[in-house]
Amino acid sequence: MNTAHPHDDHCTDHSTDHSADLLGDQSGDLVIDGFTTRSVEVAEGVHLRVDLSHEPSAPDRPTTAVVLLHGFPQTRHMWRHVAPLLADEHFVLCPDLRGYGASGKPAASTPDVYAKRTMAADVIALADALGVQRFVVVGHDRGAHVAFRAALDHPGRVSHLAGLDVLPTVETWDVLHGAQAAVAFHLYLMAQPPGLPEAMIRGSADAFFGHFLDAWTRDPAAIPAPVREHYLRASREAIDSIVADYRALAGIDVEHDLASRAGGERLRMPVTVLQQDWGAQLGFDAAALWRSWAPDLQHVTTAAGHFMAEEAPGEVVEVIRALARRSGRW
């Protein structure tokens, strides 16, 4: 998990020091207090915008890396409370995922453009560009699906994995049935062929994305008005790519996960899952579903809402710190 010198030809520095966690540039891109911001090329024509706790080559700074991957309908700014608390002990990287926020949004010309395998490869390329060999990866919601695939495809690079409020892809679909599946209506909407979902969402984008920010939050104060507007703006500017990401979850991502399961692939690193007790509400054993993929699992439930990194950042930080201290069994 040590870092070396970054490959500067892939990186563009966009900022140096920030005095408040709600500062942003003229595009509405918010930055994390005390972090620097770069744009890093991770594939041909695709750049990820990433906030860094410090320069990788900075002397006397932590070199153990933690990569934080955001969820929906959010950006890397969801880590604004968690990331600074980790920065004393870790080199912290917070990218916007492909298709989200200030990162590149390539057209979904083929199903694999927004496959989690492709998005996981972006994370590996980001680590390469910054000289990071091994890292802890923490994903929330969409980011957890990317982190899951990164850990399966690149076990030599991912030392520890944390997933926040999510199930693996195949299990996500398996547990949804009957009227209770209405809670996940957006999964079914965005799984439809291109055209109709994008048009429907574009017709009322703020209402659509705002619904999730409101319905999934137990403490509305956790997402203050400027942050909420940032999320809404970022999402309505990324409708096509967000839908393509979700469409992949119902197609190519299922294919990849079924192939991995059939091939006996498992998460061989320490894994922690922190989530709401959805199993009790929908009638499934979340820990058992995760353990089928992750033999070295710690499963923790929280009283916080879906946006737990903003509602309960201290709890999330302690979970990540505890995970990073665990030694692998494999």
Task: Return the amino acid letter for 167.
Answer: L
Q: What's the first-to-final CA gap in the chain, in angstroms?
A: 17
The Cα 134–Cα 146 span in angstroms is 16
Q: Which of 51, 141, 245, 296 is catalytic?
A: 141
The SS3 of residue 271 is strand
Q: If phi over 0 gives left and psi between -120 and 50 gives alpha, with beta otherwise, what is residue 261?
A: alpha
User: H-helix or E-strand containing 69?
Assistant: strand 65-69
306 is catalytic: yes
Q: Which of 81, 140, 186, 306 is catalytic?
A: 306
240 is catalytic: no
The SS3 of residue 38 is strand
Beta bridge mates, 137:
67, 161
Task: Return the amino acid letter for 150.
Answer: A
User: How many residues appear in the chain?
Assistant: 330
Cis peptide before 73 (omega within 30 of 0): yes
Residue positions annotated with a catalytic role: 141, 306
